[in-house]
Amino acid sequence: MNALATKTNYTKKGKKYYRISISLGRNSEGKLIRKEFYGASKKEAEAKRDAYLNAINNGLDYSFDKQTLGKTMLLWLNQYVKLSNKPSTYERYEGLYRNYIANSNLFSLVISDLKPITIQAFYNDLYLRGKSSSTVNTINKLLKSFFTFCVNQGYIVTNPCSGKKVTIPGDLRSEKKNIEVFSDDEIRKIIYSKEKSMIKYLAIVALSTGMRRGECLGLKWSDISNDEIRIERSCKTVAFYDENNNKKYKPILQAPKTVNSIRTIPLPNSLKSVLKEIKAIQIENKFKVRTSYIDSNLVFCNEIGGLLDDSNISRSFKRFLKRCDVEYKNFHALRHTYATKQFELGVPLKTVSYLLGHSDIYITANTYTHVLKQHKENSIDILQII
């Protein structure tokens, strides 16, 4: 007999292991809670046991030792995200969960057993199946947030998505979409269109202020003074679920995208006449529906004064551009056009970043790299003019 042979005490599916177990107390029914550890040798099994006990001493909640990722994430979404975040945040997270987690191999995995390599394999598989690096990165943000919750609750000790434990496959930078802007000729066609429609006025306000679509739709008359516009809310059409889990969409007012999105910007003089025309349309609508009119104080509203459904804006804007004989670009291109024009006029990067309500100046710089590069190349050689 080989004296150096590794001793084992358990066989599973024809493979030999060394097994040890510990007691973790009793459950609510008085039954003993036991945890087993397996290794190729006694030393390996003991190392796993010691690591587990050390994790408990550092805050791991062993009562959730068998909790699976899918069920726990659903609990997190419905009991935490849904109740403490904007409805649009819950809708986005729930969509990611339903489309990428619920039917994945991660769903049934025990949280305490998850390793970064498992998450990495999941990301790599998504990428190889055609998902973009941007999509994988968005899923990573969801999982990272979820695992932070798990750490805070004591379900796990460390976040498997934190730091550089996982990497996003592909090249995020190369996937950045080209920024679309309207040409000067297209801007003139939009501004000088003969029609008096709410979609035209909405486009002009976005173009002349750089406000996001939702910020425009959430704007109230009380936010506007003689020379300033105060941006402190946004309108977003989100999904709500009734007691039968049926999904229904409705527009709501909510906080802007980030804390920095709450800002005060100059009111362009050219907008004052546009605002008067919007007010005239509202007075006319109020006269038509009389007592049915909702006095919501909104600048942009439907015919009875209620919130506009922002999901319809894209379709209305597309039809409006066609009437103006302007090639289609999405509504957000108005905001990009505003920013680009600011840079062309020499407005400093920090100022443009504030006007746009970006949370960080680097977001502005990364978004408009092409514009900044162009102006950098057009800079003056000081030595040649001295």
pLDDT higher than 90, residue 310: no
Both tokens assigned to 236: 């977003």
Task: Look at residue 381 and tell me whether its pLDDT is greater than 60.
Answer: no
Average of per-residue pLDDT across 49-71? 71
Topology agreement, domain 69-169 and domain 184-377: no
Overall average pLDDT of the 158-174 stretch:
86
Pick the CATH number of 184-377 from 3.40.50.720, 3.90.1150.10, 3.40.190.10, 1.10.443.10: 1.10.443.10
pLDDT band, residue 59 (cuts 50/70/90): low
pLDDT at 368: 85
What is the distance between the alpha carbons of residues 120 and 381, in angstroms, rounded to a whole number? 49
**Mean pLDDT score of the chain:** 86
Q: Where are the domains of the chain?
A: 10-57, 69-169, 184-377
How large is the C-alpha radius of gyration of the chain? 29
Q: What is the mean pLDDT of residues 170-177?
A: 68
Tens-digit pLDDT profile for residues 3-19: 455 688 888 777 888 88
**Structure confidence at residue 14 (pLDDT):** 78
pLDDT of residue 56: 66
Amino acid 113: pLDDT: 83
How much is the average pLDDT of 242-249?
A: 74
Residue 259 has pLDDT above 80, yes or no: yes
We find that the CATH architecture of domain 69-169 is Orthogonal Bundle (1.10)
Q: How far apart are CA 324 and CA 318, in angstroms?
A: 10
